Amino acid sequence: ESATYQQFLTRHVDFPKTGAPNDRIYCNTLMQRRGLTRPVCKPTNTFIHAPANQLQAICRRAGRCRGRNLCDSNSAFRLTTCRVAPGSRPGRCNYRARVLTRRIRVACNRQRLPVHFHRIL
């Protein structure tokens, strides 16, 4: 289960935000660097620009949890969502970027660590 927390960090956490000339180049660079462009271009992925301990806290005191394991953050986070552009293929994945500040919903494991980015609220 700890591996999936590690995957969550790899796929979704970038703090401080990696520098890039613009957000489109940011997405293209980071999606590739984090291994999200092979074997296929991942259609969409959100990077959260906050320290890991703030995200762990969503599963504990800084979030409201419901159902099996979904927790909503009490506070908003800076996010960059990358969406694949038409005509992309592995090795040539092109992304569009959206930057926003929103609350998020994550899935937490039994150790109360975030393991899955569910959605933007």
Q: Evaluate whether residue 120 is within a structural domain.
A: no
* Residues annotated as catalytic (active site), given as ranges: 12, 116
pLDDT digit string (tens) for 64-73?
A: 999 779 999 9
Q: Evaluate whether residue 86 is within a structural domain.
A: yes
Into how many domains does the chain fold? 1
Domain span at residue 70 reads 2-114
How many Cα neighbours within 13 Å face the side chain of 56? 11
Q: Is the pLDDT of residue 41 over 60?
A: yes
Q: Evaluate whether residue 56 is within a structural domain.
A: yes
Which one, of 87, 88, 80, lies nearest residue 38 by Cα? Answer: 88
For residue 27, give the CATH number of its domain: 3.10.130.10
Cβ–Cβ < 8 Å for 52, 114? no
pLDDT digit string (tens) for 77-100?
A: 999 999 999 999 888 999 999 999
pTM of the model: 0.94
Q: Evaluate whether residue 119 is within a structural domain.
A: no
Q: Evaluate whether residue 80 is within a structural domain.
A: yes
Q: Evaluate whether residue 99 is within a structural domain.
A: yes
Q: Evaluate whether residue 121 is within a structural domain.
A: no
Q: Evaluate whether residue 73 is within a structural domain.
A: yes
